[in-house]
Amino acid sequence: MQVFERGWLSSNCVLFEDDSGATLIDSGYFTHAEQTLALVHRAIERHRVPRLRRVINTHLHSDHCGGNALLARRTRCEIVIPEGNSFGVRHWDQRFLTFEATGQHCDRFDFTDTVSAGDVLTLGGQEWEALAAPGHDVDSVMFHCEDEGILISGDAIWEDGCGAMFPSANPKTLDEDFSAAFETLGLVESLDVRVIVPGHGRPFTDAEGALERVRSRLRRLSADPARNGRHVVKVLLKYRLLDDRRMSFDTVHAMFRDVPTIEHCNRDIGLAPAALAERTMDDLVKVGAARRDGQWLVDA
Which residues make up the interface to Zn ion (CB under 5 A)?
61, 155, 163
Nearer to Zn ion, 66 or 163 (CB): 163
> What's the closest the beta carbon of residue 239 comes to Zn ion, in angstroms?
11
By C-beta, is 75 or 102 nearer to Zn ion?
Answer: 102
Q: How far is the CB of 236 from Zn ion (least distance, A)?
A: 12
CB of 9 to Zn ion, least distance (A): 12
> CA-CA distance, 60 to 57, in Å (whole number)?
7
Where does 146-237 show beta strands of DSSP type E? 150-154, 195-198
Cα dihedral across residues 121, 53, 8, 269: positive or negative? negative
Where are the strands (E) in the chain, listed by range?
2-4, 13-18, 21-25, 52-56, 78-82, 113-115, 120-123, 126-132, 141-145, 150-154, 195-198, 246-248, 290-293, 296-299
Give 61 or 264: the residue with its C-beta nearer to Zn ion: 61
Cα–Cα dist 154/242, whole Å: 20
Least separation in angstroms between CB 123 and Zn ion? 21
3-state helix, strand, coil in the chain (%, to 5): 45, 20, 35
Least distance CB 198 / Zn ion (angstroms)? 11
Nearer to Zn ion, 80 or 297 (CB): 80
Residue with the shortest CB distance to Zn ion:
61
Least Å distance, CB 164 to Zn ion, is 8
Closest to Zn ion by CB, 61 or 230: 61
**Which is closer to Zn ion, CB of 54 or CB of 61?**
61
Residue 256 phi, psi (nearest 5): -75, -20
